[in-house]
Amino acid sequence: MKLLENIKKSMKDLRIGFERYPVTLIASVTLLVILISLNEMDMKDIDTEILGRIAMVVGLSLPLSISVAHINESLLSKKTQLKAFAFAIAAALLVAYYFLFTEDHGMVTGMRYAATLVALIIGVFFTQRLKVRLNYETYVTKVFYSFFLTALYSGVLYFGITAIIFTINSLFDAEIPDKYYLYSFLTVVFVFAASMFLSKLPRIGETFGDHKYTKALKVLLLYIVIPLITIYTGILYVYFIKIIVTGVWPRGLVSNLVLWYSVLSAGVIFFISPLVSENVVAKAFRNFFPVADIPILAMMFVSMGLRIGQYGFTENRYMVVILGIWALAAMVWFIAIRKLNNIFLPVSMALTALIAVFGPLSAFNVSEMSQNNRLESILERNGMVQSGTVIPNASIPDGDKREISAIASFFESRETYEMDYVPEGFKTMDMKVVFGFPYEDDRGYPDDKYFYFFVPMENQVLDIKGYEHLAKAATYQTNEYSLGNVSMKYDSTTSELIFSGSSGKLIKADFKAYYQRMWDASSTYAGKGEVSVNDATFTEENEKISVKIIFESMNGNLENGKIKIDNAAYFVLVRVK
């Protein structure tokens, strides 16, 4: 009877979840269908760009629709028309996002999407409590509890489904395709887990007045996490003293350690706030840690400031700085505001995430402007700018050459950014023409000592007429291959591909000679970049064997005037006469 009652309660909860969040559940099932369709289309080599962009937007709609439902419950409970209007605004924002921010698939799009999704997920934790903020920390704890309980149930369900599929395949040779493991996972996540999680979210009328933290959670926070953070704080202060004594400021790793430690500590203070009035450890930590953390954050800002002053802003450095600003604001909030009203933390974090990827103060705009300012400063101090145009100069200091190369590489890897003072379509391979000196590779090889070639193999048809065997090989995989009665071995010491038969060596292919011919064929690229299939195709032949080698890529460097090939990927065609 108790089991039946639990089942009835669970079914009732699922029904209530659908009544509260119908748009979210419909969107969840829609996303499931889209993701399965994308996988099927991808296996059939069907273009999935538009459907992929739709999937991105539908993914954003899940947390957004939950937040809109919460706003309707808490602020617009008696205004039916405004409820519909709220969903219409959300839909319009999603459509705008589709057309404005999903067309490109580069780093900027990915970072913007991730930050937007994080901001919307954080919104789920506060949109219902914008009006009623009593026991807010307990509300957040309940949301987390719902998530972890849903994850546990979903994991058990998925394990059971995969066990059934595996057993049927093993016992009956059913040969159920592996893709159904993925489809089962997606179904569990977007149907079962979504329904269960939404059904367990706290209701608008719940006040949690009689809710108490479990003993296990109290022990974890008060007697494990807080002592560890305290010890970590002591270590950072010792390191801080070392910096003052030696005058050597830390690099990026320490900045990241300080940042995540501060963010985690802010979260701990948030969750122990309900315990402050009853526990001396919680009270002491909330009162004294924010004060102790501010000098450590100041050390982080000075360290990042020195690095930014030297190398300019990048997206990663920007993210460290803006999240550090949020952590500092959180500590100041804990010091200045004694009244328990911690909804400020998630609201400010969501806004910080959106500021970081949208508008004039975004990571992208700040990084683009910073690197262009850095470029302008280097060019001006070397007298390389006249009327907004670069004047080539090969005699500038090597350090400035490396910095300009790094800036050019930065812009080349971000297609949506615009580099000042260079012609449209500028690439690092054009540096010798534009700046007067070649690009210097990140590995430290100057352009005239480091080379790489690649061949665009997409939509290419290889001529294999007259050959008996075809193999795809690479110097960085295995050194020896078998092609019928012929063995093929690459000798890395001489950069030669040697073909042998039962009677001994048949012929050899000299990769160094091929490098020189590709260099000559790609002279406009200064030994770097794309070459045609014809220029990357080489034949060797004698009375015993005929060999054709078609390179897909090759890279290496010149050491003391000698060619050293690091890696090469290529096709080999062989015919024994």
Q: Domains of the chain: which residue ranges?
A: 2-200, 215-358, 365-439, 454-576
Other beta carbons within 10 angstroms of residue 82's beta carbon come to 12
Q: What is the pLDDT of residue 253?
A: 63
pLDDT digits (tens, 9 = 90+) for 47-58: 889 999 999 999
Joined together, the tokens standing for residue 184 give: 């089962």
Sign (positive or negative) of CA dihedral 154, 159, 160, 164: positive
pLDDT digits (tens, 9 = 90+) for 135-193: 888 889 989 999 999 999 999 999 999 999 999 998 988 888 999 999 999 999 999 99
* DSSP β-bridge partners for residue 540: 547
Query: Which residue's structure tokens are 């395949």?
Result: 169
Q: Is the pLDDT of residue 519 over 60?
A: yes
pLDDT band at 69 (very low <50, low <70, confident <90, very high): very high
459 backbone φψ class: left, alpha, beta (φ>0; ψ -120 to 50): left
Determine which of 439-453, 467-481, 549-563 has the lowest per-residue pLDDT on average: 439-453
CA distance 329 to 294: 10
DSSP one-letter string for 266-329: HHHHHHHGGGTTT-HHHHHHHHHHHHHHHHHHHHHHHHHHHHHHHH---HHHHHHHHHHHHHHH
Categorize the per-residue pLDDT at 443 as very low, low, confident or very high, splitting at 50, 70 and 90. very low
Q: What are the distances in angstroms from CA 170 to CA 165, 166, 173, 184?
A: 9, 6, 6, 18
Question: Residue 286 and residue 222: Cα distance in Å, rounded?
Answer: 11
CB 299 within 8 A of CB 261: no
Specify the length of the chain in residues: 577
Tell me what pLDDT residue 48 has.
87
pLDDT at 411: 92
Average pLDDT along the chain: 87
Outline where DSSP puts E strands in 297-445: 385-386, 389-390
Helix (H) or strand (E) holding 336, with range, is helix 315-336
- Residue 88 contacts residue 50 (beta carbons within 8 Å): no
Torsion angle in degrees (nearest 10) through CA of 298, 303, 305, 308: -150
CA-CA distance, 304 to 255, in Å (whole number)? 7
- Number of Cβ within 10 Å of residue 539's Cβ equals 11
- What confidence score (pLDDT) does residue 56 get? 96
* 8 A C-beta contact, residue 488 and residue 480: yes
Judged against a pLDDT cut of 80, whether residue 130 lies above it is answered with yes
Q: What is the pLDDT of residue 525?
A: 45
pLDDT at 433 over 80: yes
The C-alpha atoms of residue 496 and residue 509 are separated, in whole angstroms, by 5
Q: Which of 11-25, 168-182, 383-397, 450-464 has the lowest mean pLDDT?
A: 450-464
Residue 1 has pLDDT above 70, yes or no: no
Determine how β-strand 537-541 pairs with β-strand 562-576: unpaired
Given a cut of 90, whether residue 268 has pLDDT beyond it is yes
Supply the pLDDT for residue 447. Answer: 47
Cα separation, 303 vs 295, whole angstroms? 12
Alpha-carbon distance 58 to 53, whole Å? 9
> Above 70 in pLDDT, residue 22?
yes
235: which residues sit within 8 A by CB, 6+ positions away?
none
Alpha helices in 344-416 (DSSP H): 344-357, 363-381, 398-412
Q: Which of 97, 89, 21 is nearest to 59 (CA)?
A: 97
Query: Of all residues in the chain, what percent carry a pLDDT higher than 70?
Result: 91
417 φ/ψ angles, rounded to the nearest 5 degrees? -85, 155
pTM of the complete model: 0.76
Q: How many Cα neighbours within 13 Å face the side chain of 503?
A: 5
Residue 444: is its pLDDT beyond 50?
A: no
